[in-house]
């Protein structure tokens, strides 16, 4: 068998672009994403800086002969993309369509907060090609939304959902959070049932994580007793997964379920360790076997987006390990056949896989030589990932 000691990511075509919009109307207490609070940011300068970063990136790709293809996915994340003016969002979409080109079935996602401000931008985005909306929901209970610092209420969420659906958008994803201060299991389940009843086809559900440099970290790191315990968080996860599965949602990734094939194609690309470009302060990219993290300062990033980035080389060995870790995030699990096809070597993880089976965290499908997390592995997925580090 040919031994290719090169990260295969280097030769994969680049078909996925993420744009980080670093503005929010207010900072939520738990949020660690890079964003600045602004009602009146200079969006024109932001657009120019994105174009500048793209030109530098394009030069790099051309010099390194990295294959760039019409985009299959374009994702506006943040921050809050709906704070941009309608004109700037439209210009961004049109610019990348003319620079890179769009595949005929491109998925264009926009994260939207259900705040009254920004509706015009959402409408302009949909008119220009946005065909998937990731709508902030978090919880049904207004007292919890208030507690975590969200600006919207459940009624605001419903109004925005109607508006989006009136435009013909079916591909909608909502975030649901659990493990919140003062949240009990019943409330988390009511939130889940609400999304099910509203026929939301894609749901991301994840627990609160105390990130350093957030208000919540200051408030709760020394008082974990004010948050649901780890056991009750695990119980929430199990019960949420259960309610989704019994309502015909397919669990396809640790924190994501979907109905009728409404998977996130953009995120699936990340989990498959395929290349992606990320533009904007705080954005990450992975192409040509390097991972690039942009600086979390709009000012410094705008001055020189490439120079200010952190760059890490992902060599062959690390690429294999990351592939194995991410494969276990997906319900399709780690397939020996797929692995060997991608890396062109015999599966080097027999010892790790055996250890994980002995610890009762994964199971093996003998017929297809495929390994999956079992229910205990779902609870302790981090132990599975660590085995490959
Ligand atoms: S709106 Fe989103 S990005 Fe902005 S602070 Fe809240 S969670 Fe973070």
Q: Report pLDDT digits (tens) over 154-207.
A: 999 999 999 999 999 999 999 999 999 999 999 999 999 999 999 999 999 999
Atom 3 of ligand 1: nearest residue by CA position = 79
Which range is least confidently modeled, 11-20, 210-219, 239-248? Answer: 210-219
> Band of the pLDDT at 60, cuts 50, 70, 90?
very high
Query: Residue 192 is inside which H or E element, if any?
Result: helix 185-197
Query: Residue 265 is inside which H or E element, if any?
Result: helix 265-271
Res. 2: pLDDT tops 50: no
pLDDT at residue 287, rounded to an integer? 95
3-state SS, residue 282:
coil
How much is the mean pLDDT over the chain? 95
Cis? peptide before 79, omega within 30° of 0? yes
Cα–ligand 1 centroid distance for 9 (angstroms): 31
Q: Report pLDDT digits (tens) over 90-129.
A: 999 999 999 999 999 999 999 999 988 889 999 999 999 9
Hey, which of 78, 206, 208, 209 would you mutate to test ligand 1's pocket, going by the most ligand atoms within 8 Å of its Cβ?
Answer: 78
Res. 1: pLDDT tops 70: no
The response to whether residue 80 sits with its C-beta less than 6 Å from ligand 1 reads yes
The response to whether residue 174 sits with its C-beta less than 6 Å from ligand 1 reads no
The response to whether residue 60 sits with its C-beta less than 6 Å from ligand 1 reads no
> Band of the pLDDT at 277, cuts 50, 70, 90?
very high
Region 358-371: mean pLDDT is: 93
Region 224-236: mean pLDDT is: 92
Q: Where in the chain is the domain with CATH 1.10.10.920?
A: 316-389
- Residue 255 CA to residue 206 CA, distance in Å, equals 6
Region 230-235: mean pLDDT is: 93
Q: Please tell me what DSSP assigns to residue 276.
A: B
Q: In ligand 1, which atom is closest to the CA atom of 27?
A: 5
Q: In ligand 1, which atom is closest to the CA atom of 30?
A: 7
Cα–ligand 1 centroid distance for 145 (angstroms): 12
Q: In ligand 1, which atom is closest to the CA atom of 150?
A: 6
| Residue 383, both tokens | 């132990």
Beta strand extents in the chain (DSSP E only): 14-21, 23-24, 36-37, 68-78, 102-112, 132-138, 172-178, 202-207, 250-253, 256-258, 277-279, 284-287, 290-293, 310-313, 334-335, 362-365, 370-373
Res. 3: pLDDT tops 60: no
| CATH top-level class of 10-271 | alpha beta
Q: Residues 298, 46: contact at Cβ < 8 Å?
A: yes
pLDDT at residue 4, rounded to an integer? 55
The response to whether residue 165 sits with its C-beta less than 6 Å from ligand 1 reads no
Please list, in sequence order, all residues whose beta carbon lies within 8 angstroms of the beta carbon of residue 96, skipping any fewer than 6 positions away.
17, 54, 71, 74, 102
- Residue 51 CA to residue 40 CA, distance in Å, equals 21
Please list, in sequence order, all residues whose beta carbon lies within 8 angstroms of the beta carbon of residue 32, skipping any fewer than 6 positions away.
211, 212, 213, 214
Q: In ligand 1, which atom is closest to the CA atom of 149?
A: 6
Hey, which of 28, 113, 151 would you mutate to test ligand 1's pocket, going by the most ligand atoms within 8 Å of its Cβ?
Answer: 28
Share of the chain above pLDDT 70, in %: 98
Cα–ligand 1 centroid distance for 33 (angstroms): 7
Angle at 200 between CA 243 and CA 164, to 5 degrees: 160
Res. 309: pLDDT tops 90: no
- Residue 355 CA to residue 371 CA, distance in Å, equals 12
- The second-level CATH assignment, the architecture, of 316-389 is Orthogonal Bundle (1.10)
pLDDT at residue 367, rounded to an integer? 84
| Residue 108, both tokens | 């264009």
Q: Residues 69, 15: contact at Cβ < 8 Å?
A: yes
| DSSP per residue, 327-362 | HHHBTT-EEHHHHHHHH-S----HHHHHHHHHTTSE
The response to whether residue 28 sits with its C-beta less than 6 Å from ligand 1 reads yes
Q: In ligand 1, which atom is closest to the CA atom of 113?
A: 1
Q: Where in the chain is the domain with CATH 3.20.20.70?
A: 10-271
């Amino acid at each position: 068998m040919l031994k290719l000691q090169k990260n295969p990511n280097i030769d994969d075509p680049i078909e996925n672009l993420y744009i980080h919009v670093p503005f929010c109307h207010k900072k939520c207490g738990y949020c660690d994403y890079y964003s600045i609070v602004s009602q009146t940011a200079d969006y024109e300068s932001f657009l120019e800086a994105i174009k500048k970063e793209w030109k530098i990136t394009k030069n790099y790709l051309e010099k390194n002969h990295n294959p760039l293809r019409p985009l299959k996915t374009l994702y506006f994340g943040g921050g809050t993309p709906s704070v941009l003016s309608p004109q700037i969002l439209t210009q961004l979409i049109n610019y990348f369509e003319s620079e890179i080109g769009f595949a005929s079935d491109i998925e264009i996602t926009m994260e939207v907060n259900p705040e009254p401000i920004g509706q015009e931008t959402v409408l302009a985005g949909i008119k220009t090609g946005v065909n998937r909306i990731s709508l902030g929901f978090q919880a049904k209970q207004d007292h919890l939304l208030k507690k975590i610092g969200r600006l919207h209420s459940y009624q605001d969420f419903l109004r925005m959902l109607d508006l989006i659906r009136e435009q013909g958008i079916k591909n909608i994803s909502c975030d649901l959070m659990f493990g919140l201060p003062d949240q009990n299991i019943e409330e988390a389940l009511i939130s889940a049932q609400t999304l099910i009843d509203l026929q939301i086809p894609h749901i991301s559900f994840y627990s609160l994580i105390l990130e350093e440099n957030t208000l919540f970290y200051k408030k709760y790191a020394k008082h974990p007793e004010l948050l649901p315990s780890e056991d009750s968080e695990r119980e929430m996860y199990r019960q949420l997964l259960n309610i989704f599965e019994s309502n015909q949602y397919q669990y396809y990734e640790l924190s994501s379920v979907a109905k009728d094939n409404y998977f996130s194609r953009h995120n699936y690309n990340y989990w498959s360790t395929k290349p992606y470009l990320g533009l904007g302060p705080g954005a990450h990219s992975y192409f040509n076997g390097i991972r690039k993290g942009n600086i979390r300062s709009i000012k410094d990033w705008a001055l020189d987006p490439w120079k200010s980035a952190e760059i890490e080389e992902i060599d062959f060995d690390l690429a294999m390990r990351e592939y194995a870790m991410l494969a276990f995030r997906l319900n399709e699990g780690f397939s020996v056949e797929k692995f060997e096809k991608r890396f062109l070597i015999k599966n080097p993880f027999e010892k790790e896989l055996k250890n994980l089976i002995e610890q009762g965290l994964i199971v093996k499908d003998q017929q297809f030589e495929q390994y999956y997390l079992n229910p205990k592995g779902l609870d302790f997925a981090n132990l599975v990932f660590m085995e490959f580090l």
